[in-house]
């Protein structure tokens, strides 16, 4: 009985919560969803329920907890990365993460992300993968946004256009990169975009089209008039 009373005593009341891993979602939102006070017992914390509440913010993909007894709690969040916009209707933009999941609906674009064009939507629901009419094009878009994120290009891309299924177009300023169909050699093509942008950082100097349907040692660049 004495041991039980000790375990539920104020000695184990949470007096410090440390949030780790977040950059987009602020600490206040996470702590509010955590919903504990300085009288909450760290040993009795229902982490499954707390995890579900915190993941009610769709930009959070996972949460883990670590108890540092007797009174400190660590909350580590893993955020989803916004990767693209899809315009659903005039004045309505869906924000997709890098898996193609709808994580937010906005009335305007607030951050630099590519706008997906030519991707008809069957249906969407917050927190779920977008259901596109053409699954092949959707898979290609997801893979390209993942590669563009890995190579730290996603915020420089203005549009990704799949209106022509035989030629995915990636636009950066005045430059179009014609990628061909599907995702064959996608990583090499994205690396080539990186090299082009590093070689010619001035947008006016690279105004035109890079034809990259197939990877060769040379690429044809057509100057736009």
Rounded to two decimals, what is the model's pTM?
A: 0.88
Residue 107 burial (10 A CB sphere; 0-12, 13-18, 19+): exposed
- pLDDT for res 202: 75
Which residues touch 40 (CB under 8 Å, ≥6 apart)? 13, 14
- pLDDT for res 225: 44
Q: Both tokens of residue 62?
A: 């996972």
**Domains by residue range for the chain, with CATH:** 2-79 (3.10.20.310), 82-223 (3.40.50)
Whole-angstrom distance, CA of residue 64 vs CA of residue 55: 11
Half-sphere exposure of 171 (CA within 13 A, CB side): 13
- pLDDT for res 50: 97
Q: Both tokens of residue 45?
A: 């914390």
Contact indicator for 190, 215 with CB cutoff of 8 Å:
no
Buried b (16+ CB within 10 A) or exposed e, 172-209: beebbbbbbeebebbeebbebbeebbeeeeeeeebeeb
Which residues touch 86 (CB under 8 Å, ≥6 apart)? 93, 94, 96, 115, 116, 119, 121, 130
- pLDDT for res 222: 60
- Tens place of pLDDT for every residue, the chain, 225 residues? 766 665 667 889 999 999 999 999 999 999 999 999 989 999 999 999 999 999 999 999 999 999 999 999 999 999 999 999 999 989 899 999 999 999 999 999 989 999 999 999 999 999 999 999 999 999 999 999 999 999 999 999 999 999 998 999 999 988 999 999 989 899 999 999 998 888 877 776 677 888 888 776 565 566 554
- pLDDT for res 58: 96
- pLDDT for res 10: 86
């Amino acid at each position: 009985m004495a041991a039980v009373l000790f375990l539920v005593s104020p000695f184990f009341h949470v007096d410090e919560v440390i949030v780790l891993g977040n950059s987009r979602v602020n600490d206040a939102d996470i702590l509010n969803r955590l919903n504990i006070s300085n009288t909450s017992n760290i040993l009795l914390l229902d982490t499954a329920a707390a995890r579900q509440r915190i993941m009610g913010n769709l930009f959070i993909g996972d949460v883990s907890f670590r108890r540092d007894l007797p009174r400190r709690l660590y909350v580590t969040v893993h955020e989803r990365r916004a990767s693209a916009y899809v315009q659903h209707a005039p004045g309505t933009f869906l924000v997709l993460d890098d898996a193609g999941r709808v994580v937010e609906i906005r009335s305007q674009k607030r951050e630099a992300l590519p706008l997906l064009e030519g991707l008809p939507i069957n249906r969407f629901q917050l927190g779920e993968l977008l259901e596109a009419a053409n699954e092949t094009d959707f898979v290609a878009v997801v893979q390209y946004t993942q590669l563009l994120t890995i190579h730290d290009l996603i915020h420089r891309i203005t549009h990704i256009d799949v209106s022509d299924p035989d030629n995915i177009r990636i636009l950066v300023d005045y430059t179009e990169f014609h990628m061909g169909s599907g995702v064959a050699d996608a990583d090499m093509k994205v690396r080539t975009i990186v090299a082009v942008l590093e070689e010619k950082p001035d947008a006016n100097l690279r105004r035109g089209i890079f034809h990259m349907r197939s990877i060769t040692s040379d690429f044809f660049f057509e100057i736009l008039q």
